[in-house]
Amino acid sequence: MSRTFLAYERPNGEIGIRNHLLIIPTVICSNQVCNRIMQMVPGTVAIPHQHGCSQIGADKTRTFEVLAGTGKNPNVGAVIIISLGCEVVDPIALAEEIRKTGKPVEVFDIQSIGGSVKAIAYGTELAKRMMTELEKQEKVPVPLNKLKVAVKCGGSDATSGLASNPALGAAADSLISEGGSIVIGETTEIIGAEHLLAERCVTPDISDRLYYMVSRFDKEVERMGADMRGGNPSPGNIAGGLSTIEEKSLGCISKCGKAPIQGVIEYAESIPENGLYFMDSPGNDIECVSGMAAGGAHIVCFTTGRGTPTGAAVVPVIKITGNKMTFQKMEDNMDVDVSDMLDGTASLEQAGERVWQEIVDVAEGKWTKAEVLGHQEFSINRIGPSL
């Protein structure tokens, strides 16, 4: 029997550690209306984005899946979808997809309602009513093994591979031993270390899929005729002591711990329960975290050496650093300091326990620094050209 903690229970049996009213623009044209409603009604979260129109094929599907997945994320209690009325993302299909979770979903379009002013007024009234209902919901005891945690690193320096990533890996192993789920992503940042992850896949098929995802990305880089080092390692990574993508990757992978890999999933695909999974995703912080949130992660644990303020729209993001200077300089943004691993005064186990305790506290409602500061970054990964 897994340990329990207090969280929201969703109609489909999932658990939520936050109770957001999410406002989704189906298209860039609805962003401003969504933002205005968010400003009018405290407790709502809008996810403005650049997409939803002039998109075809895989990109159109990806935008739909990320929006649907974010709406389905168990930290979201109710959803308002605001369409312009002529975009390629179908707002009714989106509402139906999110309603499969059993949560309340409302949808309307700006063209039918008569423009921005009327849409903001209508949406504000709707949001107030839905927030009032949402706030009545009480937390109940739920098992810890329902928790899904994503692991991510960004703004890496040499301390990431030496301290914060191994510490997060130890915490990831603690969640796995409780029966929970961990998801690791960043296909670009396992290049050069993919053989080590592939060895841990539970079947040869899963290992083949992992190699396929890496080679698919390698081919994209080749198609651009570029040296990946132009963007990764980033200038900040290089200043911090990292010299090649291989070196960065070898430091990156320790953040998912030592468990066997149970499966490999596509960007924004639903994260299965129990065990460690790999999600195909870019290293770009916001796009990667948005894909993990759309896959149903409750929390993102984010290690950083250089320091970054990044949060996410519907999931708390816990910042962990192994760089003492960064913790001191950016304490407003950093949640956990494991830099004492580097002077030998804390063991890997002690640092891992500190991260694990923070995960449990945040699951029980403690706000992360990114939440306190209102960081709600959101961005959808794009595949091809706009029309």
Partner 1 sequence: MEHVIEKGADALYMDERDHVATALRDMQAGESIHYRSAAGLQLITLIDPIPFGHKVAIAGIAFGQDVRKYGEVIGRAVVEIEAGSHVHVHNIEGIRGRGDLGTKEAAERA
Which residues of the chain form contacts with partner 1 (CB under 8 A)? 157-159, 161-162, 166, 188, 191-193, 196, 218, 221-229, 232, 238, 240-241, 243-247, 250-251, 254, 305, 323, 341-345, 348
Q: Which residues contact 338 (CB under 8 A, 6 or more apart)?
A: 163, 164, 167, 320, 321, 322, 346, 351, 354, 355
Q: Please report, to the nearest 10 degrees, the dihedral formed by the alpha carbons of residues 26, 113, 43, 16 taken in order.
A: -50
* Lookup: tokens for 176: 């796995």
Q: Given the complex with partner 1, which of 40 and 348 has the nearer CB atom? A: 348
Q: Given the complex with partner 1, which of 56 and 196 has the nearer CB atom? A: 196
Q: Given the complex with partner 1, which of 121 and 348 has the nearer CB atom? A: 348
CA triplet 375, 377, 378: central angle to 5 degrees?
155
Q: Given the complex with partner 1, which of 273 and 340 has the nearer CB atom? A: 340
At CB < 8 A and 24+ separation, what contacts does 288-291 make? 288/152, 288/185, 288/186, 288/381, 289/150, 289/152, 289/315, 289/317, 289/377, 290/66, 290/70, 290/377, 290/378, 290/379, 290/380, 290/381, 291/66, 291/185, 291/267, 291/381
Q: What minimum distance in Å lies between the beta carbon of 246 and partner 1?
A: 5
Q: Residues 125, 42: contact at Cβ < 8 Å?
A: no
CA triplet 5, 102, 299: central angle to 5 degrees?
40
Residue type for position 384:
G
Q: What minimum distance in Å lies between the beta carbon of 357 and partner 1?
A: 19
Return the sign of the alpha-carbon dihedral for residues 329, 330, 331, 332. Answer: positive
In whole angstroms, give the CA distance from residue 336 to residue 169: 14
Q: What minimum distance in Å lies between the beta carbon of 188 and partner 1?
A: 7
Q: Given the complex with partner 1, which of 131 and 228 has the nearer CB atom? A: 228
Q: Given the complex with partner 1, which of 247 and 269 has the nearer CB atom? A: 247
Q: Given the complex with partner 1, which of 138 and 343 has the nearer CB atom? A: 343
Q: What minimum distance in Å lies between the beta carbon of 239 and partner 1?
A: 9
* Lookup: tokens for 161: 């591979």
Q: What secondary structure letter does DSSP report for 117?
A: H
Q: What minimum distance in Å lies between the beta carbon of 353 and partner 1?
A: 14
Q: What minimum distance in Å lies between the beta carbon of 183 and partner 1?
A: 22
Q: Given the complex with partner 1, which of 48 and 161 has the nearer CB atom? A: 161
Q: What minimum distance in Å lies between the beta carbon of 242 and partner 1?
A: 8
Residue type for position 282:
P
Q: What minimum distance in Å lies between the beta carbon of 356 and partner 1?
A: 16
